[in-house]
């Protein structure tokens, strides 16, 4: 029989409660959240709890290059536990330029000491892209280029994690300006794997969801290895599915109900944002399933009414114009639909809309229905426009 949380030692739970200054219930809830995020089978929270309570505390060296520090900021907003608790307990954050008190030579010494003391065992986290043009002179720390520092710190690391889209594939700094002849970003910004010439685990997103980073670190603590990744180094537990597959507006998409412009009736009713340029159909991430900021249901870009811009996806985020419609990677309707979030009091029965959409999606099966729906919706929009202009003319 597999271990359960009831097998956890009461004394060690009390010890972790003291250490984390966190009620036992909250600690177990955190372990369950991480286990669920990782897609682990039922009961795995016990293994997670055991790993966290033993406090192995791997040394973490965190480098900052071309970025806005949004990745660190988003971690600071994480709950269960807060980053402060995580820093002090789950990992030993030995070098982090924006959070450490040390500066200058003292900070450099802290990095070198931690690397020497934990040779071959520390986790290197890199936030930000690495400029490669003109030998990388566009980003220097302590007189060393980002290229140099990344290579030096990666040489003896047990694992390298690129956090954020900038470090994963270049992100915003790698955007190619829309000027004649431009074929790369001004500083030649690249992702960590490209510069190191070897695969690394990537947690893209601008900023990335803090749980995806926390879960990756806890996986390392629990199993002594990093989670399974796709060919771009993204953990499958977080980036294995398209946003479009789990979106709460998906039933509207399959039923052909679209917001045509911001603030129109469809937008107010929570219809699908595909026609406003939502990149959910070509973006792999778990945003709809885990949300952001522990601020309740639907707290993610599409949930708040903004099309996904594909911030996790190379070649989509910061590259494709926001209102260009997405490429469809998979048109098969899902077997189940997430619950639609309805704006209360707008007079529509969304429960029946969802049911009808589910039936329509299942019956039509994919591409044919999709094309039909999109066509119908365009026709409907055109009809609306004609009606509007006719009524204006009548006035």
- Minimum Å gap between C-beta 272 and ligand F3S is 14
* 269: contact with ligand SF4 by CB under 6 A: no
Encode the chain in three state secondary structure. CCCCHHHCCHHHHHHHHHHHCCCHHHHHHHHHHHHHHCCCCCCHHHHHHHHHHCCCCCEEEEEECECCCHHHHHHHCCCCCCHHHHHHHCCEEEEECCCCCCCHHHHHHHHHHHHHHCCCCCEEEEECEEECHHHHCCCEECCEEHHHHHHHHHHCCCEEEEEHHHHHHCCHHHCCCCCCCCCCCCCCEECHHHHHCCCCEEECCCCCCHHHHHHHHHHHHHHCCCCCECCCCCEHHHHCCEHHHHCCCHHHHHHCCECCCCCCHHHHCCCECHHHCCCHHHCECCHHHHCCCCCCCCCCCCCCCCCCCCCCCCCCCCCCCCCCCCCCCCCCCCCCCCCCCCCCCCCCCHHHHHHHHHHHHHHHCCHHHHHHHHHHHHHHHHHHHHHHHHHHHHC
Number of residues that bind ligand F3S (CB under 6 A): 13
* Number of other CB atoms surrounding residue 67 within 10 Å: 24
* 205: contact with ligand F3S by CB under 6 A: yes
- Of the two residues 52 and 290, which places its CB atom closer to ligand F3S in the complex? 290
- Of the two residues 308 and 357, which places its CB atom closer to ligand FSX in the complex? 308
- Minimum Å gap between C-beta 38 and ligand SF4 is 23
Closest-CB residue for ligand FSX?
70
From ligand F3S, ligand FSX, ligand SF4, none, interface partner of 59 (C-beta below 5 to 8 A by class): none
* 301: contact with ligand F3S by CB under 6 A: yes
Interface region with ligand FSX, contact rule CB under 6 A, candidates 38-46, 50-58, 80-88, 162-170 = 162-170
Task: Give the distance from CA 238 to its chain's centroid.
Answer: 7
* 67: contact with ligand FSX by CB under 6 A: yes
Residue from 13, 36, 55, 68 in contact with ligand FSX (CB under 6 A): 68
* 308: contact with ligand F3S by CB under 6 A: yes
CA–CA distance, 61 with 157 (Å, rounded to integer): 9
* 311: contact with ligand F3S by CB under 6 A: yes
- Minimum Å gap between C-beta 248 and ligand SF4 is 7
* 8: contact with ligand FSX by CB under 6 A: no
Residue from 309, 340, 354, 370 in contact with ligand F3S (CB under 6 A): 309
Site for ligand SF4 in 305-344 (CB under 6 A): 308
Residue from 39, 43, 58, 70 in contact with ligand FSX (CB under 6 A): 70
- Minimum Å gap between C-beta 283 and ligand F3S is 5
The sign one gets for the Cα dihedral 67, 196, 187, 277 is negative
Cβ-in-10-Å burial (0-12, 13-18, 19+) of 368 comes to exposed
* 272: contact with ligand SF4 by CB under 6 A: yes
- Of the two residues 122 and 211, which places its CB atom closer to ligand F3S in the complex? 211
- Minimum Å gap between C-beta 348 and ligand SF4 is 17
Residue from 283, 289, 373, 377 in contact with ligand F3S (CB under 6 A): 283
* Number of other CB atoms surrounding residue 332 within 10 Å: 11
Site for ligand FSX in 169-198 (CB under 6 A): 171-172
- Minimum Å gap between C-beta 281 and ligand FSX is 22
Cβ-in-10-Å burial (0-12, 13-18, 19+) of 255 comes to buried
Residue 171's φ and ψ, nearest 5 degrees, are 50, -150
Binding mask 89-128 for ligand FSX (x = CB under 6 A): --------------------------------------xx
Site for ligand F3S in 206-245 (CB under 6 A): 243
Residue from 207, 288, 303, 310 in contact with ligand FSX (CB under 6 A): 207
* 227: contact with ligand FSX by CB under 6 A: no
Q: Which residues form the interface with ligand SF4 (CB under 6 A)?
A: 243-244, 247, 249-250, 253, 272-274, 278, 280-281, 302, 308
Interacting residue ranges for ligand F3S, rule: CB under 6 A: 205, 243, 283, 285, 287, 300-302, 308-312
């Amino acid at each position: 029989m597999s271990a359960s949380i009831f097998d956890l030692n009461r004394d060690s739970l009390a010890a972790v409660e003291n250490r984390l200054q966190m009620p036992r219930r909250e600690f177990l809830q955190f372990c369950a959240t991480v286990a669920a995020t990782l897609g682990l089978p039922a009961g795995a929270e016990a293994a997670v709890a055991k790993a966290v309570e033993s406090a192995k505390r791997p040394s973490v060296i965190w480098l900052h290059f071309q970025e806005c520090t949004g990745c660190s900021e988003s971690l600071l907003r994480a709950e269960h536990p807060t980053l402060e608790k995580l820093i002090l307990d789950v990992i030993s954050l030995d070098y982090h330029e924006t959070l450490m008190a040390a500066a200058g030579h003292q900070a450099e010494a802290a990095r070198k000491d931690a690397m020497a003391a934990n040779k071959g065992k520390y986790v290197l986290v890199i936030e930000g892209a690495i400029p490669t043009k003109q030998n990388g002179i566009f980003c220097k720390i302590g007189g060393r280029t980002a290229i140099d520092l990344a290579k030096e710190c990666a040489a003896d690391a047990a694992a390298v994690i690129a956090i954020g889209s900038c470090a994963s594939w270049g992100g915003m700094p790698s955007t190619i300006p829309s000027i004649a002849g431009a074929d790369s970003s001004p500083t030649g910004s690249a992702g960590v794997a490209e510069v190191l010439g070897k695969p690394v685990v990537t947690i893209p997103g601008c900023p990335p969801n803090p749980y995806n980073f926390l879960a990756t670190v806890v996986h390392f603590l629990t199993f002594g290895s990093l989670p399974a990744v796709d060919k771009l180094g993204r953990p499958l537990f977080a980036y294995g599915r398209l946003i479009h597959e789990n979106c709460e507006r998906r039933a509207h998409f399959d039923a052909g109900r679209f917001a045509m412009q911001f603030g129109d009736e469809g937008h107010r009713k929570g219809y699908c944002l595909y026609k406003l340029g939502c990149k959910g159909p070509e973006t792999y991430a778990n945003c709809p399933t885990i949300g952001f900021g522990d601020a309740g249901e639907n707290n993610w870009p599409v949930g708040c009414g903004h099309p996904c811009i594909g911030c996790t996806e190379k070649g989509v985020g910061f590259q494709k114009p926001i209102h260009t419609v997405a490429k469809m990677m998979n048109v098969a309707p899902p077997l189940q639909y997430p619950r639609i979030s309805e704006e209360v009091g707008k007079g529509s029965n969304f429960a029946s809309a969802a049911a009808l959409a589910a039936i329509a999606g299942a019956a039509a099966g994919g591409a044919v229905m999709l094309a039909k729906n999109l066509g119908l919706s365009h026709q409907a929009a055109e009809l609306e426009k004609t009606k509007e202009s006719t009524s204006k003319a009548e006035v």
